Structure 1
């Protein structure tokens, strides 16, 4: 009982720390593209702000074997939050594209440390038999900033001005540092040993491939929806509903995985994401309530794919290797989030916004089909984990 109470307390510290640090990222995800557009950047430059941020995130995640030798998980979380806090005010110095991209790259490195350490700590601290549920709860803590701050960021920038928002976001990330340092030093050595077992050389799971496609679509929506409809309140509402739906299904899918086994939801919920993307394509010109409904459908699918794919990857690596599992999963997450807007930004002139989402809908359906074939029984009839 005492051990479970201690785990609950540590998980609470972790969730609040993650909420604050990721809040910095979420609040500015749609604001930084607008800041670049304010400085005169075209669609390619606007898309590059997200692409560079998450490209730096992925590059940092690829250095995790080295970083795990230097930092325990809690210190990595604290360092990541501090880097986010330190870099964010530099946006206020100029809206020129090159400096904006440079600051975004630094923030991407900080964000990488936060998400890898945070997800791994959620698995390390979880009570026995509750790993998927703990991952789902971490997903709530990581997803709530998207619910509250991703749509609010654009509105706050309009009300407060960009500079005030940049300073506020920096303060939020800084508040995460002492909470991260209050966490136990659990899992450090086991996580560091992970990379000595050639797990990173294995072929990526079908689940990670499906997940990457869903996050590429999400990154595109978050980056370009406010730009496509700049004078409308609908994008903020759509992002709010999308993020809220993802938070709900992350939590629900964690309970489902602990009870019935992981991997069951990845493929069908990727299809749900595809239907949502098709709905966004069909309603883009209207920009009304139907667009919000399409965003909600996409979000419901996204959250389930997020959590279930992580548990599949975690089980693939096995006990004591949560750091490697978190790294692989986050590379798929952040790689997709950055790659989608980067590719779309340079192809947008050829297709228009509706065409982009039609293409993404087809990509999601194709990824789901490929994931079902490659994953076989593992993706549809996973063993019971609880």
Structure 2
């Protein structure tokens, strides 16, 4: 896996993108508040950033087909990094929100391009581990940079050095894009051309590959059962049907993450005024570490089992347990240190859901839609995080006991994803594109063979001569 050309630069670019984002995530709102600009602007900064991120993610697959991965990531890194230096000029609303829009666009394009590029670079049989390695890079960036930004501001007595460091880190990701092989996302083929691909052509293609010494496509099937047929559109298959369940699982889980990110610290302080801040920081670190480790474990498991999605039900259940436990600890007023256990459960589930949802989208969409799969996953993650923070904030504002209510409602939201995953498993058919998908083609071939009459039954009667 590690010998795949461009994999290391891609992971470094991921580390840089999420490092630059994480470094400034808590710093900008705090700087706005310190300047007396008000909580409204502080919240608007993050909201505008995430809105620009999600909107850009909807268009990133087109950019990847038009300009390729390297150019898209290079420009996106510049958009994420260069505007960061402008924060040194103050916290006026127009300046801050303008920077948020530009940086959000860069971050949105980067997140889609990087996760899609992983699927393009590595052999399919290693895709689970490669996706897990992507999660490790994200986790390391968050674990180190989330607390680092505020720490630097505290040590130096100014936010200026944080802005400079955040910009430099983001630009490292832009530089890494220059080391990535020149690849473009697979172009969509016309429907008419796609329909000309016949079953016999697929069989001949497989045979010719064997003759050239290349393993047949069925042998090259990855652990995640990714489609390996010729690129082509998934005619007559609604995209929402293919990605609905993994997207719902990712989105509802991310809603819980949004609630924890916003309300774990005040909840811990409510339980223990003295140690609450320390406990909250430790719990967030435990959650991040568990998320990183279990995302990689889920990827390795998928490669070993030869199928994506085998852990998603258990992962969602673990996340729900963590959120329910969190609500109970806060409601009952137990020791705040119990929050570490709850955070570990949720983090483990969150990490596995991330990997399983992404691999399921890769598996259910045709090869030509790798970029779209990455976009759908990132949109589910980011919109879920933003929506969760907003919705759970409303819950906290009206509930008699705000923090237990926040975590309980978050568990309920995540349970929706769990129920959907269970129903999807019971209904059975892992929904995949029916056209230009090796698995679907082989299934149809098997059905055709079973239905065909024996040759002796279809041959006309003869007079016994050869």
Q: TM-score range by the shorter chain?
A: 0.7 to 0.9
CA distance, structure 2, for counterparts of residue 156 and residue 16 of structure 1: 23
Match of 2:218 in 1: none
Alpha carbons of 1:129 and 1:288: their partners in 2 closer, same or farther (altered >3 Å)?
same
Report whether the alignment pairs 1:141 with 2:137: yes
Q: Determine helix, strand or coil for the equivalent of 1:133.
A: helix
Supply the distance in 2 between the matched residues of 1:221 and 1:298 (Cα, whole angstroms).
Answer: 10
What's the CA shift for 1:364? Answer: 1.2
Identify if the C-alpha distance between structure 1 residues 279 and 89 changes in structure 2 by more than 3 Å, giving closer, same or farther: farther
Q: Which residue of 2 is the match for residue 216 of structure 1?
A: 255
Q: 2:297 aligns with which of 244, 252, 257?
A: 252
Residue equivalent to 1:314: 362
Q: Does the aligned pair in 1 maintain the 2:49–2:103 contact within 8 Å? A: yes
Does residue 233 of structure 1 match 2:269? no
Q: Distance in 2 between matches of 1:91 and 1:102?
A: 11
Normalized against structure 2, the TM-score is what? 0.73
Larger mean CA deviation between 361-370 and 373-382 belongs to 373-382
Give how far 1:196 is off: 6.2
Against the structure 1 CA distance between its residues 369 and 5, is the aligned structure 2 distance closer, same or farther, given a 3 Å change threshold? closer
Decide which moves more: 95-104 or 136-145.
95-104
CA deviation digits over 1:215-258, x for unaligned, max 9?
12212322444566598233322222111111101111001111
Q: Does 2:262 correspond to 1:262?
A: no
Matched, 1:371 2:417: no
The runs of 5 or more residues in structure 2 that have no matched partner are: 190-230, 433-438, 440-466
**Contact 1:75/1:180 (8 A) holds in 2:** yes
Could you tell me which residue of structure 2 aligns to residue 362 of structure 1? 412
The residue that corresponds to 2:25 in the other structure is 29
Larger Rg: 2
Segments of 5+ residues of structure 1 without an aligned counterpart are none
Which of the pair is proportionally richer in helix? 1
What corresponds to 1:271 in structure 2?
317
Gap change, CA 1:224 and 1:113, over 3 Å in 2:
same
Asked if residue 89 in structure 1 is aligned to residue 85 in structure 2, the reply is yes
| SS of residue paired to 2:294 | helix
Which deviates more, 85-94 or 140-149? 85-94
Query: How far apart, in 1, do the equivalents of 2:107 and 2:413 lie?
Result: 27
Range with bigger deviation, 190-199 or 324-333? 190-199
User: What is the TM-score of this pair, normalised by structure 1?
Assistant: 0.87
Higher RCO, Cα 8 Å, sep 6+? 1
Cα distance in 2 for residues equivalent to 1:85 and 1:12: 21
- The aligned counterpart of 2:213 is none
Query: Which residue of 1 is the match for residue 53 of structure 2?
Result: 57
SS in 2 for 1:155: helix
Contact 1:276 1:295 in 2 (8 A): yes
